[in-house]
A = this chain, B = another copy of it.
Amino acid sequence: MKNELLKNEPYKVVESLKKISGDDWVTNDLSQIQGYLYDETEPLLRPEASKDCVVVKPGSPEEISKILEYANEEEISVITRGGGTGVVGGAIPTTASIILSLERLNKVVELDEKNLMITVEAGVTLADLLEVLNNQSELFFPVHPGDEGAQVGGMVATNAGGTKAVKHGIMRNHVKALEVVLPTGKIVNLGGKLLKNNMGYDLLHMMIGSEGTLGIITKVTLRLYAKSKYSGTLIISFNSQQDACNAVPAILQDGITPLAVEYMDRDISNTSAKDLGTTWPASKGSVDLLFILEENNEDELYGNSEKIVEICEKYNAVDSIIAETPKEQRHILEIRSNGYTPYRDNISDALDVAVPPADVPQYFNDIKELSLKYNNHILSLGHIADGNIHNFIMSDNGKLPSYYEELKEEIYKAAIKYGGTVTAEHGTGKTRKKHMNLQFTDDEINIMRGIRAVFDPNKILNQGDIFD
């Protein structure tokens, strides 16, 4: 993409976009576009943004269609902006670009309780979605990637995960229909309020997780679920990572499906609690498993809690704490949610590999060895039942350590050795695309490139991402 017009005569681009979306919704004033030039990628790793950008905030899919037609004509790259909560640079325009923000597509279109579904415009945030459901419905939506500023369209584009995937799975499991503006400007409706649909190829699933490279998602229909009536939280402590990890498959095999099963290094729990001015309830042992249970039946809740404790004791658990009141439960979850925050200024990178769940103990051994080898106190917390571990690579006095790239690649390779993935949740974006060949053969990457070319022949969308 040359983006000549945008670089040389940006006012012309601004004028053309104003004709589409109106004067109020287009700007290339640096002070106004500053907030659109970065996302939540770790500051030490953020790709540098081009300042030759124009922000447009279209009010409808039809406007988006016209913007994309214009971008194709003029050969200008377009980057889609959701909530800007991504952590792999996906929303950062590294070349001169039209930044197309979905923030005005923020309406809840329909809460359809009879079909247990909700349809929202793509710019509705997770916070908005949860509020509408809380206020207007007994139904709930299970995917929660942590930052409620995430927009629903972005959550689809990145196939968001989070803690509750143990019971409810990831975004892909809940997306039923999408309105998408294709890179060529055509508007298509994929899927429907359907639980089974086998006509043609499934373009809906192709779109999920494609990180804005195949089209701009403008409307999303999600499946909803009845709320569980009873919830409980358990902390179970162990002296060894291995014992903790090995207990988890035994619990799942017994037919217990918790809402969440989180692993936490005790260092993280203590530091997080201290940061919040409180203390982590567990003191024995050195690592914890945190179980959140949601059941429709009180007996089942208590029965499952007891069984979890029993199984963990077989795996040498040294302590178990059952949070009985909602207040105690909130206290524990607050400390878990805050796990990353106190480290923020000391972290180079927060990784998100996944391995087959049964291989987590071996993977943890590899991490221990790498910690020693590089003398970097790599911490671990994560969605252990999903085999999805967040490792924090510490910074070197606020700077990227000299060995950062090498260590990161060793961690990725450790995961891949077990048939794992470089990224379970965060996505490929700009910071991982150079590692595609660790995980895929050339044949696979060529097919991905080919698919991209089918959707976006002029490579208008999200230039610099994944396959460019």
Bound-state Cα–Cα, A188 to B139, Å: 41
Residues of B close to A447: CB separation below 8 A: 182, 203, 454-455
Q: Closest chain B residue to A436 by CB distance?
A: B200
* Whole-angstrom distance between the Cβ of A334 and the nearest chain B Cβ: 24
Stretch from A320-328, A338-346, A425-433 contacting the other chain: A425-433
Which among A201, A229, A445, A452 has the highest number of chain B CB atoms within 10 Å? A201
Which residues 174-227 of A sit at the B interface, judged by CB distance below 8 A? 177, 182, 184, 186, 188, 190, 192-203, 205-206, 208-210, 226-227
B253 adjacent to A139 (CB under 8 Å): yes
Q: Are B205 and A226 in contact (CB under 8 A)?
A: no
Q: Does A308 contact B (CB under 8 A)?
A: no
Q: Is the Cβ of B356 less than 8 Å from the Cβ of A194?
A: yes
Q: Are B454 and A196 in contact (CB under 8 A)?
A: no
Q: State whether the Cβ of A262 lies closer than 8 Å to any Cβ in chain B.
A: no
Known: A354-B195, A358-B112, A443-B188. A226 touches B252 (CB 8 A): yes
Residues in B with CB closer than 8 Å to A200 are: 428, 436, 439-440, 444-445, 448, 466
Interface string of A381-404 (1 = CB under 8 A from B): 001011110000000000000000
Query: How many Å lie between the Cα of A299 and that of B296 in the bound state?
Result: 11
Residue A158 is within 8 A (CB to CB) of chain B in the complex:
yes
A255 contacts B296, C-beta separation under 8 Å:
yes
A312 within 8 A of B: no
**Cβ proximity bits A136-147 to B, threshold 8 Å, 1 near / 0 not:** 001100000000
Contact: B354 with A197, CB < 8 Å?
yes
| 8 Å CB contact of A202 from B165, B190, B205, B445 | B205
- Report the separation of the CA atoms of residues A297 and B453 in the bound assembly, to the nearest whole angstrom: 52
CB distance B114 to A428 under 8 Å? Answer: no
Q: Give CA–CA (A355, B419) in the complex, Å.
A: 38
Question: At the interface, yes or no: A173 with Cβ under 8 Å from chain B?
Answer: yes
Give the distance to chain B from A441, nearest Cβ to Cβ, in Å.
6
* A350 nearest CB across to chain B (Å): 15
Interface contact A201-B206, CB-CB below 8 Å = yes
State the CA gap A436–B354 with chains docked (Å). 38
> A333 contacts the other chain (Cβ, under 8 Å)?
no
Q: Which of A196, A228, A354, A455 has the most CB of B within 10 A?
A: A196
Count of A interface residues, CB-CB < 8 Å: 91
Q: Contact: B138 with A253, CB < 8 Å? A: yes
Q: Is A300 close to B, CB under 8 A?
A: yes
Chain B proximity of A251: nearest CB distance (Å): 10
Q: How far is the CA of A229 from the CA of B304 in the complex (A)?
A: 14
| A195 touching B357, Cβ below 8 Å | yes
* Cβ–Cβ < 8 Å partners of A300 in chain B: 296-297, 299-300
Task: Verify if A116 is at the interface (C-beta below 8 Å from B).
Answer: yes
A249 at interface (Cβ–Cβ under 8 A)? yes
A202 x B206 contact (CB < 8 A): yes
A14 nearest CB across to chain B (Å): 30
Asked whether any CB of chain B lies closer than 8 Å to the CB of A4, the reply is no
A142 to B190, CA, bound (A): 27
Pairwise interchain contact B227-A421, C-beta atoms closer than 8 A: no
- Given A299-B299, A300-B297, A444-B203: A198 in contact with B253 (beta carbons within 8 A): no
Residues of chain A in range 129-167 having any CB-CB distance to chain B below 8 Å: 138-139, 158-159, 161, 165
A199 to B209, CA, bound (A): 9
Q: Which of B226, B387, B419, B428 contacts A199 (CB 8 A)?
A: B428
A123 touches B (CB below 8 Å):
no
> Does A47 count as interface, using CB distance less than 8 angstroms?
no
Q: Give A160's nearest chain B residue, CB to CB.
A: B198
A55 at the interface (CB under 8 A from B): no
A44 within 8 A of B: no
The answer to whether A441 touches B188, judged by C-beta atoms less than 8 angstroms apart, is yes
Q: Closest residue to A254 on the B side, CB-wise?
A: B226
A253 engages B196 (CB within 8 Å): no
The answer to whether B114 touches A196, judged by C-beta atoms less than 8 angstroms apart, is no
Q: Which of B117, B228, B388 contacts A196 (CB 8 A)?
A: B388
Given contacts A199-B427, A228-B255, could you give 4 more A-B pairs where the C-beta distance is less than 8 Å? A112-B358, A194-B387, A201-B451, A202-B209
Q: In the A-B complex, list the 8 residue pairs whose CB atoms are closest, starting with the nearest.
A: A450-B454, A226-B255, A193-B356, A114-B358, A196-B424, A205-B205, A195-B386, A192-B419
